[in-house]
Structure 1
Amino acid sequence: MHEAGYRGYIARKKPLIKDSNRWKRMLWVRQHWLKPKQFWDSILWSDESKFNLFGSNGRQIVWRQTNESMKRECLKPTVKCGGGSVMVWDCMAASGVGNLIMARNMAKTISQWFVKNQINTLKWHAQSPDLNPIEHAWDELERRMKRHSPKNKEELWMILKKEWKGIGRDVTSRLVNSMSKRFQEVMKHHGGPTRY
C-alpha cells in the first residue's frame, strides 16, 4: 500500500448526509449559484454554538517524540463532567459580527422573531453546515479561545464576547465571499460533505 502512495490517516468527521438531502443540497446550490456578491453581502448568517470551559469536544493533535507521551505539554487533561459550557447565539454578515448572546436552544425564539419582524429567511436544508459561513466564524472563535484558560463559566463568557468582537470584517467578508467555492465543492461531491 505504501508503495502505491497510500498512508494511514485519521478519517475526517463530517455530518452524515442522506441521499435525499444530497439532492436537495445540489438543487439549492443550482438555485443560488448566480446570485451576485451584493446578495450574499446582504445576508445575516445566524447560528448557535457551544463552548466548553475545559477542553474541546474533539481530538487534539500534539507534536512530540516517541518517548514524550506522558510529558505535561503532550497531555490533554480532562475533568469530570467537562467543567461546564456556555451555549451562545449570534449572527454575522460580510460587514462583521453581531453581539454574542448567551442562550440555549434559540432556534424557535429566533424563528418567531423573524416572522414577527417580517424578515425574509433563506430556505435552509438539513445537514448543510458547510454552506453556512458562520460555522467557520465559530471555528475562528474556538482557535482564539485556545490562548486563554478561563477558570469558570463567567470568565469563559467574558472572554468569548471579547474574542468574538475581535473577529474583524476581513474575516467575515472572506467567509461570505467563499460561497461560490462552497457551491463548487457541493457539486463536485454530488451533494455530499465538503472540505468546508
Structure 2
Amino acid sequence: MQPISENLRNRIISCLKNGYSISKTANIAGASRGAAQNVRKTIKNEVNSIKTGRPKLLSNRDDQYLVRLVTVKGQENAVEARNMLENDLQKVVSAQTVRRSLRRSGLTSFVKPQKPLLSEVNRRKRLDWALNHVDWTIEHWKRVIWSDETKVNRFGSDGKVYSWKQPNEKLKRRHVTQTVKHGGGSLMVWSCISWYGVGYIVDVGKNMDKSVYLSVLQDDLVKSMADYCEENDLRMADFEFMQDNDPKHKSKIVSERLSKQDFTTMECPPQFPDLNPIENMWNILKKRLFKQYDCPPASMDELWTRTFETWHEITEKECQNYIETMPQRCIDIIENKGIWINF
C-alpha cells in the first residue's frame, strides 16, 4: 500500500483516539479503510486498546450511582433515575440509556407483583406466626387443611398476558386476549387442600355471606375431611383447619360452629396469600383452564364443568410439592422480617 502523508496519519490517529470506528475514521480523515486499519495497527502499543464505535455516555462511576439510586434510594423507574442523575451529576441522558446502564450492572426490570397492603402491626403478626411455626416438621404440616376462595373468569386472566411475535408479523388470534362487554362472567369458588390432595370445590355465588360460608363448612369441608380420613386411616381430630381472616370467616355463627367440631381451627396470620399453598393450586387451576382448551367456555355452566373437572385432576403430589415448602416459607418470612415473600 502506498505510504500516506504525515498530516493524513495524524488525522487518522486523532479520529481513532476519539473513539470513532474504522469506517467513520476513514470518512472523516479522507482516507481509505485500509489506511485507517494500518495506522490503527501501528499505534496499538501507544494507545492500549483504542475503542471503536460511539463512546459510552456514562462512566463506571455513573453506573454505580444509578444502581444505588434504584436499590437504596428508592427511585421507581428509569425516568426517575435519569432525572436524579441530571440533578445530582449534571449528566443528561435518555431513560433508555439508564436502562442499558442498569442492565450492564446486572439488574433486571419486572412487572411489580400485586401484594396486599401490609401495615406495621400486620408485619409483626406475620413475623410472630412464622417464628411460632418455623420448627414444625412436614409431619405437622401434613395435618393442616388449607382453604380459600377464588374467582375464575370465563375469559381468562384479569392481569397481563404475554405473547411473542415476529417484528413485522400481523396480529393473530394467539396474540390477543379477546374480551366481551361486561367481562363475560366469572365464578367464585371455594375449596380446600391437604397433604392428601384437593377437597370438594363449590360454586359459592357472587356474594358469599356468613350463612353461605357456614353451609360450605358444614357440607363441603366436612365431606372433604371425611374422604381424607377414610382414604388415609385418619380421624378428624388429627386435622387442623386453616382459613384466612375474612370477616365472614370470623363471624360469631361460624366461630361457634367451628368450636364444636372434632378438628381444631388454626390461627391464621394477616395478609395470608404467600403463606397459603392453596394459592399455588389456584394458579395451577387457572393456567390449565387457559391452556387446555382451544376456545373459552360457551356458557357459565360449561365454565363450571371445566373448573370442577380440572380441579379434581390436580394430584396429591402437586399439593405435597407446595405444602413441603412451608418450612422454607417460615424461614423466608423471618429473614424478611415479616414482609411478603416469593411464593
Matched with 1:136 is: 280
Q: Is there any run of 5+ residues in structure 2 with no aligned partner, and where?
A: 1-100, 218-248
Q: Which moved more, 1:142-151 or 1:11-20?
A: 11-20
Is 2:137–2:327's contact at 8 Å kept on the other side of the alignment?
Answer: no
Counterpart pick for 2:271 among 127, 131, 137: 127
The yes-or-no answer on 1:52 pairing with 2:156 is no
TM-score (norm: length of structure 1): 0.92
Specify the SS of the correspondent of 1:62. coil
Matched with 1:83 is: 184
Cα distance change on mapping 1:72 and 1:180 into 2, 3 Å: same
Q: Distance in 2 between matches of 1:94 and 1:155?
A: 29
Q: Which moved more, 1:10-19 or 1:71-80?
A: 10-19
Compute the displacement of 1:75 (Å).
1.1
Compute the displacement of 1:118 (Å).
4.7
Counterpart pick for 2:163 among 39, 48, 62: 62
Compute the displacement of 1:144 (Å).
1.1
Sequence identity, in percent?
32
1:136 aligned partner, one-letter code: N
Matched with 1:190 is: 337
Compute the displacement of 1:67 (Å).
2.8
Aligned residue pairs, count:
196
Specify the SS of the correspondent of 2:163. coil
Q: Distance in 2 between matches of 1:65 and 1:10?
A: 22
Matched with 2:32 is: none
Give the structure with the higher percent helix. 2
Counterpart pick for 2:133 among 32, 37, 52: 32
Q: Distance in 2 between matches of 1:24 and 1:7?
A: 32
Q: Distance in 1 between matches of 2:108 and 2:313?
A: 39
Is 2:136–2:327's contact at 8 Å kept on the other side of the alignment?
Answer: no
Q: Distance in 2 between matches of 1:135 and 1:83?
A: 24
Q: Which moved more, 1:131-140 or 1:179-188?
A: 179-188
2:197 aligned partner, one-letter code: G
User: C-alpha deviations, 1:29-63, integer Å up to 9, x for none?
Assistant: 00011122221101111111110111211110111
Is 2:134–2:331's contact at 8 Å kept on the other side of the alignment?
Answer: no
User: C-alpha deviations, 1:144-189, integer Å up to 9, x for none?
Assistant: 1011231111001011111111000100111111101111221222
The yes-or-no answer on 1:74 pairing with 2:175 is yes
Counterpart pick for 1:14 among 115, 137, 140: 115
Q: Is there any run of 5+ residues in structure 1 with no aligned partner, and where?
A: none
Cα distance change on mapping 1:7 and 1:41 into 2, 3 Å: closer
Matched with 1:174 is: 321
Q: Which runs of 4+ in 1 moved over 4 A?
A: none
Q: Distance in 2 between matches of 1:7 and 1:67?
A: 26
Q: Distance in 1 between matches of 2:166 and 2:114?
A: 26
Q: Distance in 2 between matches of 1:69 and 1:18?
A: 47
Please identify the structure whose Cα radius of gyration is greater: 2
Q: Distance in 2 between matches of 1:192 and 1:58?
A: 23
Cα distance change on mapping 1:36 and 1:5 into 2, 3 Å: closer
Compute the displacement of 1:143 (Å).
1.1
Cα distance change on mapping 1:115 and 1:69 into 2, 3 Å: farther
Q: Distance in 2 between matches of 1:91 and 1:137?
A: 10
RCO (CA 8 Å, sep 6+): is it higher in 1 or 2? 1
User: C-alpha deviations, 1:63-97, integer Å up to 9, x for none?
Assistant: 12233363322111111111101111011101101
Cα distance change on mapping 1:140 and 1:42 into 2, 3 Å: same
